[in-house]
Structure 1
Amino acid sequence: MPSSHTPAPRCQWFSILAGALDRRSGRRLALLFLGVLLARGRQARSCWIRAAGLSSQYRRCYPTAAAVGRRAEAIATRLLVEVLRPLVTGPRVVLALDDTPTARYGSQVQGAGVHHNPTPGPAGSGFVYGHVWVVLGLLVAHPLGGVVALPLLARRYIRKANLGAVRAADRPPFATKLTMAVGLVRWAHGWLALWGKAVWVVADGAYAQGPVLKPLRKLGVTVVSRLRRDAALCSVPPARVPGRPGRPRVYGTERVSLAKRAAHPGGWSTGMFTVYGKSVEKRYKTFVATWRPAGGAIRVVLVDEPHGWVAFFGTDTTATVADILERVADRFTLETCFRDLKQVAGAGQQQVRGVPSNVGCFHLCAWAHTLTEVWAWNQNAEALVGHRSASPWDDPNRRPSHADKRRAWQHKLLAQEIQAVVGEHHDHAKIRDLAHRCLDLAA
């Protein structure tokens, strides 16, 4: 569905993000964002170009996507500061950190390799050939209830063995996922510190290691994550004797065994917590210990689950049990975001080879996901799911999905273009009815 008009309402976001590129590439990028949202079926880059009405400039669109990959951090800064700032309320900003793979095919894809597949499925393999993305997302509470993850910025992880296949001009220095994670948080913290809010990061247990925890503690960032069952915890050191020479102790001398603490029948408490959108009762223990990978004291929370006990921690010892357990549950929304990125936005379906092009296409999908959620933020829920009336087998009370929000925004964008094309010298009622019919058939 080619488009020749850039809608003005709401689409000023496209121009804001495109302002990070030079003027000529920026104009194409603004239209390319429109194509990403309007494209149907397989989300190949050529489909974006056709949907944006840029077929006559298709050769120039390819370097534009590569320019997005090279300037991803500058564009993400505009997204965070100028678009998402009004959504952040409360005393703290919560970020989520995790990685996800996207499958690719072909030996000419630069930097692609064999990676662990966290979601193989019933017939899937434990490994996948393609890319791995370390993603930083912003967690915000939605007015309709629940927490939503909005992807901000990602880093592409390339195994050291695969760096040689990357063209020298585009070859990045090798960095581990942990190093990339710290870099992403440093970037966000540099801007979030200006807002005067505390910064919390909830991460997958794989990132609960010294190379991540110690640098973030120095930044003043609180990290919440899962704790290994065999974590080598120590007691809290006693208060320093006044006048005693030397530095105060950071770690205690006694070892703390999580297994023994969990097996002891005493010390358990019960409380109500909001996890995964529901209020549930949890049986827990909490205490403060010291842990060398964290660089000091941490708040530990043991939870008695039906399948056994699990341990979580926060690097802020004043954090409550609710703060830790609810943030851990909120991190799952980033996993849901990854699913929507691949199934709805089509991340990883673009058949591109170069490193900048791959990075640019992934970020275009991620930012389209974020902008869709922002557009639907204050929309009426009934309007977002109005198309379900044609499907009586569907649950009308089900919360609007990301696909519903994307569909509604597509209708809005197309309706604005139709209105711009037909002008004001026609029967608006008939044009509106015709537009709704065309929109229903098209989407």
Structure 2
Amino acid sequence: MSTFQCVSTFQRLLLNFLPCFTQPSGESFLALATAWALAVGPRTVTNLVRTIGRSASKSHDAYQYFFSGAVWAMDEMWRILFNLILSSRLLARDAVIELAGDDTLVHHTGRRIFGAGIFRDAVRSTKKRVAYAFGHNWVILCVIVPIPFCPNVFVSLPVCARLRPKPPKIKGRRKQKAGATKTTVELLAEMAALVASWAPERRFRLVGDGAYASLAAQLPENMTLISRLRKDAALYAPPPTPRRKKPGRPRRKGKRLPTPVQRAKSSRLSWKKTELVLYGERVVRLLHSYQAYWYQVCPNEPIQIVIVRDPEGKHEDEFFFSTDLALSAKAVVEGYGHRWSQEVTHRQAKQQMGIDDPQARLQPAVERQAPFCLLILSLVKLWYLTVGHRSDELLAWRDAWYRHKEGVPFTDMLAALRFGSWRLWFSRGSGLAPQHSKILRPLLRALARA
């Protein structure tokens, strides 16, 4: 008998995506999506078919074809997921939608894999040594949502992803033709514009690290940016008001200002002692903010710059900027801190959801399987934040050494979905007596964490 059953609340989330497929492809989607969430072991198509078990109504090749040849659009599925997040009431209707964008390396091995190459591995790199690895470079855009039952704790839900393939190698050198391969910044700008078009009446705030600071002048009108500022950034005062009857064109730049590092060393600065919530902890920092022009990044509009200093001197000064001049210095720093939830999401995709497990080599399958994994990851989080956390069984999930933490690990979210689904199978399809099902509950709980 197959163990392939899922809780009805998660199944209803999957049914929202059926308009993206034909009837045969829709059946494959429901089976593969449920198997991806419930599978124990690598998320290869072969292991997913094993998870489906006797419930599989198609051959192994048919499920492979779903990724490599079936007609469906990943962007349409991202749009439906984004609308599900907005309709879940995790975000207030008038609230600014926070987005986080970054790229990550998904390791792979093998020859002739589309888009694979040697990229910088940010996880293993240090300040003194840069590490490289072979794999796919994915640019991911996430929506940052608060956990409703955990104050000051945020999670990231991927809502779009793009593959940045390695440029082809020609005569021993890598040459990138114009428009052939987009950069990570261009891909993130493309995804940000796409997501903003799904809700043109809403306001967005994109958070990215210093590598994406150049997006300041490339975003839609309803989107602002928070990012890191270069320590040696060339900053200028506003251009002076042009005088009448003076020959020549008016000045485009104002007076050159000190770099952020030079300004931070000044003894004349006025610092504001502020209590911040960073990475789930309350800390005290000294903040200094001012406005300037950074023509290399945002030539037409001024930016708000925030210098952060540790009053105890344990951490170096940090520099941030925002294109939203109405945003307070505290909101800029805390908003950038929300970006860490995306780094956690990257780790969850690799360690718990098996984003690097598929062995696809052809372009259609490569461009679909990793985003498909991120889609299921978002759905598991969305299910838990809206429905799954209400189960009484979850009170026993928290280990004694984790009960002081306010957040909920993704492993507990995934385990809750598995436990509820497997318990449903034992209660309905196994034919076991109720007392026997109760005895097996500790075993199911242990397997759900595997």
TM-score by length of 1: 0.87
CA contact (8 A) 2:6 2:421 kept: no
CA contact (8 A) 2:234 2:256 kept: no
Query: Partner residue of 1:22?
Result: 22
**Counterparts of residues 117-128 of structure 1 (less than 5 Å):** 117-120=121-124, 126-128=131-133
**Counterparts of residues 164-203 of structure 1 (less than 5 Å):** 173-193=180-200, 196-203=201-208
CA contact (8 A) 1:103 1:130 kept: yes
C-alpha displacement at 1:272, in angstroms? 1.2
C-alpha displacement at 1:173, in angstroms? 4.0
Looking at structure 2, the residues matched to 363 and 326 of structure 1 have their Cα atoms a distance apart, in angstroms, of: 28
Structure 2: 5+ residue stretches without partners: 172-178
Looking at structure 1, the residues matched to 250 and 202 of structure 2 have their Cα atoms a distance apart, in angstroms, of: 30
C-alpha displacement at 1:421, in angstroms? 2.4
RMSD after superposition: 3.0
C-alpha displacement at 1:316, in angstroms? 1.2
Alignment partner of 1:281 is 2:289:
no
String of CA shifts for 1:401-439, please: whole Å, max 9, x gaps. Answer: 10111011111122233444258xx85x33642552552
Secondary structure of 1:207's counterpart equals helix
Would the alpha carbon gap of residues 275 and 245 (structure 1) be closer, same or farther in structure 2, given more than 3 Å must change?
farther
Alignment partner of 1:331 is 2:333:
no
Alignment partner of 1:317 is 2:337:
no
Secondary structure of 1:266's counterpart equals coil
CA contact (8 A) 1:115 1:130 kept: yes
Query: Partner residue of 1:167?
Result: none
Alignment partner of 1:362 is 2:375:
no
CA contact (8 A) 2:119 2:133 kept: yes
Secondary structure of 1:308's counterpart equals coil
Q: Choose from 405, 416, 420 the match for 2:413.
A: 405
CA contact (8 A) 1:99 1:135 kept: yes
- Give the residue type in structure 2 aligned to 1:315: T
Would the alpha carbon gap of residues 237 and 188 (structure 1) be closer, same or farther in structure 2, given more than 3 Å must change?
same
**Equivalent residues, number:** 424
Secondary structure of 1:376's counterpart equals helix
**Counterparts of residues 198-277 of structure 1 (less than 5 Å):** 198-209=203-214, 212-216=215-219, 218-238=220-240, 251-267=253-269, 268-277=271-280
Query: Partner residue of 1:133?
Result: 138
Secondary structure of 1:327's counterpart equals helix
Query: Partner residue of 2:438?
Result: 433
Alignment partner of 1:376 is 2:380:
no
CA contact (8 A) 1:49 1:55 kept: no
Bigger proportion of residues as helix: 1
C-alpha displacement at 1:41, in angstroms? 1.9
CA contact (8 A) 1:192 1:199 kept: no
- Give the residue type in structure 2 aligned to 1:137: C
Secondary structure of 1:14's counterpart equals helix
- Give the residue type in structure 1 aligned to 2:41: G
- Give the residue type in structure 2 aligned to 1:213: A
Query: Partner residue of 2:163?
Result: 156
C-alpha displacement at 1:70, in angstroms? 5.9
CA contact (8 A) 1:6 1:31 kept: no
CA contact (8 A) 1:94 1:140 kept: yes
Q: Percent identity?
A: 23
Looking at structure 2, the residues matched to 52 and 358 of structure 1 have their Cα atoms a distance apart, in angstroms, of: 22
CA contact (8 A) 1:68 1:360 kept: no
Would the alpha carbon gap of residues 338 and 385 (structure 1) be closer, same or farther in structure 2, given more than 3 Å must change?
farther
Looking at structure 2, the residues matched to 380 and 27 of structure 1 have their Cα atoms a distance apart, in angstroms, of: 29
Secondary structure of 2:291's counterpart equals strand
Looking at structure 2, the residues matched to 174 and 115 of structure 1 have their Cα atoms a distance apart, in angstroms, of: 15
Would the alpha carbon gap of residues 131 and 96 (structure 1) be closer, same or farther in structure 2, given more than 3 Å must change?
same
Would the alpha carbon gap of residues 182 and 395 (structure 1) be closer, same or farther in structure 2, given more than 3 Å must change?
closer
C-alpha displacement at 1:139, in angstroms? 0.3
String of CA shifts for 1:332-388, please: whole Å, max 9, x gaps. Answer: 110011011100111111111112212222122211211111121141487436245
Query: Partner residue of 2:87?
Result: 85
Alignment partner of 1:347 is 2:351:
no
Q: Choose from 58, 62, 69 the match for 1:60.
A: 62
String of CA shifts for 1:228-265, please: whole Å, max 9, x gaps. Answer: 00111111234567999999976423334212210012
Secondary structure of 1:30's counterpart equals helix
Is the deviation greater in 226-235 or in 433-442? 433-442
Looking at structure 2, the residues matched to 3 and 234 of structure 1 have their Cα atoms a distance apart, in angstroms, of: 65
C-alpha displacement at 1:441, in angstroms? 5.1
